[in-house]
Structure 1
Amino acid sequence: MDSPRSVDRETEDAPSCPVPGRRPADDRLADRLAAVAGGDRAAFAEFYDSTCARVFGLATRVLRNPALAEEVTQEVYLQVWSTAARQYDPRQASPIGWLMTLTHRRSVDRVRSEQSAADRNHVYGSAHLGREHDVVAEQVDQRLDEQQVVDCLDSLTATQREVIGLAYYSGRTYREVAEHLAVPLPTVKSRIRDGLIRLKNCLGVNTDA
């Protein structure tokens, strides 16, 4: 399946996310995603416009770098276009839940990749690293990362897992998480902050930057 122009074009020509308005219902997103799986470019454009602000927002929160977040956003939608027919199962997740899971995984992959590259360059120097070694090491990192995230999530407290799951895997804002759990917003922020610190330590991501 060819890539749609909205994700295949150069970055400077890529469409910007529209100002988010009222969020579409899950059944509307499900219909659009089903059409995307069938190769409908118009449905893909509508799906992108309806969800890209949330994807970019989540990527930015994880990466803390808008430029990298833009790249991850484009990668996520390319993956949606290419794999929706094979990988999305409506029995397992809602469209936005699946989309946020893809975004979180790719964002964590990028954090790990950037950190690994920086560490390798610092220790060995780029002139002494063979290209074949780089490729193999990066592939190993990516294959191990998903299981490591799952293992590290198990190290969190139940309340930390709950708020991080709602915020990062269900795509809710911090305020929406607070309303859903009926707890004060500062409490939600504190739990997420503490949980993310524990996750980063478990994943071996440098938090000194």
Structure 2
Amino acid sequence: MRGISPPRAHSAGEADLAERVGRVASGDEEAFEQVFDALAGPVLGMARRVLRDPGQAEDVAQEVMLEVWRTAARFQPERGTVAMWVMTMAHHRAVDRVRSDQSAAEREHLAASRDRNAAFDDVAETVETQLEWHQVRRCLRTLSEVQRQSVTLAYYRGLTCQEIARLLGTPLGTVKARMRDALIRLRECLGGSA
């Protein structure tokens, strides 16, 4: 197993680093180890400054160094130094991670907000329905027994006035009058909303 050697960033000049990246492009693993030793520390430092999360910074640094291995052939010395090329990749990758995390957090917040609102709406609707039910029951108690009986048969059992008249053995006109009077009283009791 290979021992940990001190970083060679200071001893290796830019020309040596550029030459090593050229060898990495050809698949030279030893050259990649040398590039890795020279730049992994600064890449990790950049990622930590941007991300402020050591675990994510390590992930980003590993991704960047893997990208150096895969894309070494794309390095163009006329556009800048190897260190600048790699640090630019590190900065872009770290910023992308921050943006991705922010987007994910916003999506989670939005989803949680929707769930919370839906749950609140369901609870509010249930409470409102129960309050209305209690108010209707209270108002039904204000009716006479025969009025309450007619309304209950009509609205809770779904019977027509003719069916109620037959069931109670009461003239149809009497049932209709009871229903009319009962509905007027209920409307008043419920505050005109019925």
TM-score (norm 1): 0.50
Tell me the SS of whatever aligns to 2:72.
helix
Q: Deviations over 1:77-133 (max 9, x none)?
A: 111111111x211111110010010000000000001111011001114x99xxxxx
Query: How do 1:17-166 and structure 2 match up within 5 A?
Result: 18=6, 22-85=10-73, 87-125=74-112
Aligned-pair distance for 1:22? Answer: 2.8
Change (3 A) 1:78 1:16: farther
- Partner Cα separation in structure 2 for residue 82 and residue 57 of structure 1: 22
Q: Deviations over 1:146-169 (max 9, x none)?
A: xxxxxxxxxxxxxxxxxxxxxxxx
- Equivalent residue for 1:162? none
Aligned-pair distance for 1:63? Answer: 0.6
What stretches of structure 1 of length at least 5 have no aligned partner? Answer: 1-14, 129-209
- Partner Cα separation in structure 2 for residue 52 and residue 65 of structure 1: 17
Aligned-pair distance for 1:24? Answer: 2.2
- Partner Cα separation in structure 2 for residue 76 and residue 114 of structure 1: 18
Tell me the SS of whatever aligns to 1:79.
helix
Aligned-pair distance for 1:23? Answer: 4.8
- Partner Cα separation in structure 2 for residue 124 and residue 17 of structure 1: 48
Contact 1:88/1:98 (<8 A) preserved: yes
Change (3 A) 1:98 1:19: closer
Tell me the SS of whatever aligns to 1:22.
coil
Larger radius of gyration, structure 1 or 2? 2
Alignment RMSD (CA, Å): 2.5
Task: Kindly provide the amino acid, as one letter, of the partner of residue 20 in structure 2.
Answer: R
Task: Kindly provide the amino acid, as one letter, of the partner of residue 24 in structure 2.
Answer: V
What stretches of structure 2 of length at least 5 have no aligned partner? Answer: 116-194
Higher RCO structure, 1 or 2 (CA under 8 Å, sep 6+): 1
TM-score (norm 2): 0.53
- Partner Cα separation in structure 1 for residue 57 and residue 107 of structure 2: 23
Q: Deviations over 1:131-188 (max 9, x none)?
A: xxxxxxxxxxxxxxxxxxxxxxxxxxxxxxxxxxxxxxxxxxxxxxxxxxxxxxxxxx
Q: Percent identity?
A: 44
Q: How many residues align?
A: 113
Contact 1:17/1:53 (<8 A) preserved: no
